[in-house]
Structure 1
């Protein structure tokens, strides 16, 4: 009864347009008033407890670092380096866009920031070379989802906090799956480019130009190595690495490339604060939501019910994948993680699945929701920056969705890709 009231009120509030964070808090409050042994202080304690987490500071700082990077000329220089090596092959500009998204993802930590940073430069360039505008937008929208898989990832930090696993282990676990997703998208882009005659760039770089591009790209390319190398070497924590990324990005944007003026900093910080504010409301409100589920033993009951229906690991995992694909279509990723992780984690761990591996599977699965209507945050961002109708973009992205699903199945049923690097670190 309590679970029905909790989820029913939550879904009802979403239907009438209440923001997700507020809907979580109000639904929790409705249930609190219905239970005689709880009082409103339970909600406020959950809000404070949920936000009182040192790793959450990394969410704020990585968001700021991503905005600084997109405004400071770092993304454009990374694109030039990728174009130097890959731009002349069939579908080269599309492949360059995917590689650039993967590199930018290792700095920004979010999908929408990656789409904005790369889309503004690459979509017009592809259209100019004869690529279909919707296809160009679909490339960037799909590859932008890698921003939440390849570390550092804001979404991975939230999952690590929710599942109580190591942020560093989650970052390490996302490296190979992120590459698998990128390769799958590149293969599909190449096939479609050959089919439609999308040629690579005909720009020939002289040795002097190539050397200049590499020189200009060295400092931006060092950024992910500094951030990730510092984490994995133990030199600093993920949160400290986010601060290092902010400082490094500011130095490049303000003093080296001079594309960020001092007066621009207020707007960059304000935009980052608005983005992070919505995230923190969701995380804080979901803590009370999750604690109510735990008190009512909802995760345990669901796990027992699922395991009572079938003991086939393959069937259970396929059912979970289908559930997450549907949920990712309609629900914001962070909200889905903080709500569903307590429900699904007991099921998969009872099957012997590592929480770290499941976290990667869950995030990759939900990342597909970035390019599926009606939510499709990356679709709307690509539509805006690429000036393409959302209907055309939705049709063009279907093939990329299938490519990502194939990669998802590989990642799900071959745990080695997610666990090999974390295991190397621990032993």
Structure 2
């Protein structure tokens, strides 16, 4: 007699299977990032202890990084943890929300299926091998289709409060929509240009609250659906190629360092020191938030890492002391931009590499502007706290209490010296600095502060991997989006037009500021830097602007974009960690964005803020 299972039993078995697949993929993603970190540390050890650099660490670390991201992408699909902008769907009737949930599944399935089909196609076309390890690159590029296939598997789970077959139905609908779009694209879009299709579809999906990563991928696919099939491999080629960068490995390294700092008690010491120093002012905890981010900026180099770490630690504490949660998240997001304005900011490193300027010089040049932004944020905190009655109840710390807090924070404060000094004097690269920061944070947490246990270390690594994936997949998805804009000559045309408007350097910079602020609304900072630095730097040099000064202006412009919709990565990060509505955070962040814009104008109009420190202290 054949045994049969009821639908609920089948659903339960499938759910257990998907849960185990989730755990396996998460473990593989975490281990890949951790192994990449160990490889970077090994390279530093071999170079300075054994005096013999290895030829293969960068290749293997990049290989592991790409696989960790796309396996992690599938895990975030299962957990519904991809970053999306939250605008109005929650305000709609339940029936409309249910329709949106179905459309969300269908569009994600379409994007994943597209990445499977054309990811395999691109991998099969790839004939190159890595120089040192001689590994065929197709094995690295296969991370995109395999991760996307795992995403499709997870999409087979039922939609919440729906029948067991609902997931399979939306999965098949998504695959069907791929073929409809692929074979009727020319008829659907008519005479619209590729860049017009890209912007219309991408932005429409973002405002429908489709996760940003999949909205960008579908926008690129819709735009390229009018082209021959061979052109569609460009999407997955750019996605994997954009992450095939040793520089980008600094992102997971610094995020892991920040996570271990948080788990190991290092962040607590920095926060405690900041509270003793400025906690008695009006809006004391909020002022401590700004001071903490100033100190953390010299540690992580990653705004996303700082946003996540400080949001986990300070937002709940601020809420307990009467601060509004959206305000707390908004302040944390705004203050975390300091990580890219104070050395060793990742944006500064990437700009220096693309513009062929000194990393050490731009590090020195951005210190004063970074501190100006911190001061402006503190002023806004004071004004808002006065109006809303936040803080002011903490008693001024005694000198002995401050010295004790400083003594406990000394190991944590040495980390910026290690990082900036190591990069400044060429001991290790910015990416290797991230790995060394992780190692130092691990040592401090385990042996100095003794707050790091196996359990919270594993938890920190899991959280760091998830945060890394959430950001990195947007960088990957932004790459084909940016490539298509470049293919259509959109940024080049705008930049060339700006160059013809004025030969006056100040006026030109102000016009470029407006352009970059607009770009920051739609393109992630790293992608924007890759596209625009080669275009804009010759324009400003021809107008007599120093490229170091322009680099600081450009990075500040683009990092403000991380606070503004529709991308607003830092707002989404703090809203997610702080468990509050992102729309409310966007409203609360407006005064902080205004303050940063004022400083941006000052730095643009007065180049001495940047250039004098370089003249006095630069390399």
Once the two structures are overlaid, the 10-residue window that deviates more, 310-319 or 358-367, is 310-319
Deviation at 1:69, TM superposition (A): 1.7
Please tell me whether residue 194 in structure 1 is matched to residue 383 in structure 2.
no
**Matching residue of 2:69:** none
Once the two structures are overlaid, the 10-residue window that deviates more, 396-405 or 339-348, is 339-348
**Matching residue of 2:62:** none
Distance 1:366 1:381 in 2: 17
Contact 2:276 2:397 in 1 (8 A): yes
Please tell me whether residue 334 in structure 1 is matched to residue 557 in structure 2.
no
Q: Which runs of 5+ in 2 are unaligned?
A: 1-192
Deviation at 1:98, TM superposition (A): 0.4
Contact 2:505 2:543 in 1 (8 A): yes
Contact 1:303 1:346 in 2 (8 A): no
Please tell me whether residue 239 in structure 1 is matched to residue 239 in structure 2.
no
Alignment of 1:266-415 (within 5 A): 266-276=458-468, 302-415=494-607
Distance 1:332 1:45 in 2: 18
Match of 2:363 among 168, 171, 190: 171
Distance 1:133 1:426, change over 3 A: closer
Contact 2:498 2:512 in 1 (8 A): no
**Matching residue of 1:418:** 610
**Matching residue of 1:70:** 262
Deviation at 1:405, TM superposition (A): 0.7
Distance 2:356 2:225 in 1: 25
Please tell me whether residue 59 in structure 1 is matched to residue 251 in structure 2.
yes
1:226 match: secondary structure: helix
Please tell me whether residue 96 in structure 1 is matched to residue 288 in structure 2.
yes
Once the two structures are overlaid, the 10-residue window that deviates more, 46-55 or 362-371, is 46-55
Distance 1:392 1:6, change over 3 A: closer
What RMSD, in angstroms, separates the aligned Cα atoms of the two structures?
A: 3.8
**Matching residue of 1:119:** 311
TM-score normalized by structure 1? 0.82
Once the two structures are overlaid, the 10-residue window that deviates more, 334-343 or 41-50, is 41-50
**Matching residue of 2:75:** none
Match of 2:440 among 201, 226, 248: 248
For the pair shown, the structure with the greater C-alpha radius of gyration is 2
Distance 1:338 1:24 in 2: 18
1:393 match: secondary structure: helix
Deviation at 1:180, TM superposition (A): 0.9
2:418 match: secondary structure: helix
Distance 1:44 1:419, change over 3 A: farther
Distance 1:349 1:124, change over 3 A: same
2:369 match: secondary structure: helix
Alignment of 1:131-146 (within 5 A): 131-146=323-338
Please tell me whether residue 224 in structure 1 is matched to residue 413 in structure 2.
no
**Matching residue of 1:261:** 453
Distance 1:261 1:60, change over 3 A: same
Q: State the structure with bigger RCO (CA 8 A, min sep 6), 1 or 2.
A: 1
**Count of aligned pairs between the two proteins:** 425
Deviation at 1:82, TM superposition (A): 1.1
1:373 match: secondary structure: coil
Distance 1:273 1:350, change over 3 A: farther
Distance 1:360 1:29, change over 3 A: farther
Contact 1:142 1:397 in 2 (8 A): yes
Deviation at 1:217, TM superposition (A): 1.2
Distance 1:211 1:21, change over 3 A: same
Distance 1:167 1:277, change over 3 A: farther
**Matching residue of 1:5:** 194
